[in-house]
Structure 1
């Protein structure tokens, strides 16, 4: 397998792993520990448990796929700035989860809020979106340093 292909596996795998990891964190922290919300709030308790279960299954599948792609990519330290590619992709994936989930579920579909019923619910939703944007920006900064150095070495 070529070095370029392995780098693509690391790049895509780290993004999917980050997406799944931050989805799992969302489910563990907000759904289970804090019990602030479920995926679908306007249903019975059993419906909320089922919706959370489907959500956990989806993020677990993302974790497995991301891990498999990273395994195909091999050791990231064997590639020029491979560890930065991995960390950057992971943060971009996690930030993308927070941003996309926040926009779709909190604002467009309005199936739940980060902390429903709280007088500051909008603030929690906006902070969740901001955390996604911040993670994406940090991830891109880390990857950009890695990508620009790789291109300079390839030239």
Structure 2
């Protein structure tokens, strides 16, 4: 519930100003954070978003020329996604706003509590074996 509320609070920044929905932001943010091309499968896995939802978001972002496909020269059925210049510029505009909003949300915690919170979240992520690399996600089936 908390994750959904935080996501909703942050989504105001990109929905109202830029017309992005949550899945579209997840695709844009994943590509921007990685600063490297990756598969839709990777995005689906690391954001825990169903592949059909990611597929719709990818289609919408491509139509707005915010992301582009890079085909595998050896297998044309395979492709990766990356931000276009327009998409990268939008990501760079949004990140400072979202980080400020995140700080507002976390302002109820002391500096030590924030540090402890980040540490605990990291431990939980590690315990759950969350995917860290594009290759790991691409190697998994069903995403």
Give the TM-score normalised by the residue count of structure 2: 0.29
Rg (Cα) greater in structure = 1
Question: Comparing both structures, which one devotes a greater share of its residues to helix?
Answer: 1
- Which is richer in strand? 2
> How does the TM-score come out when normalised to structure 1?
0.28
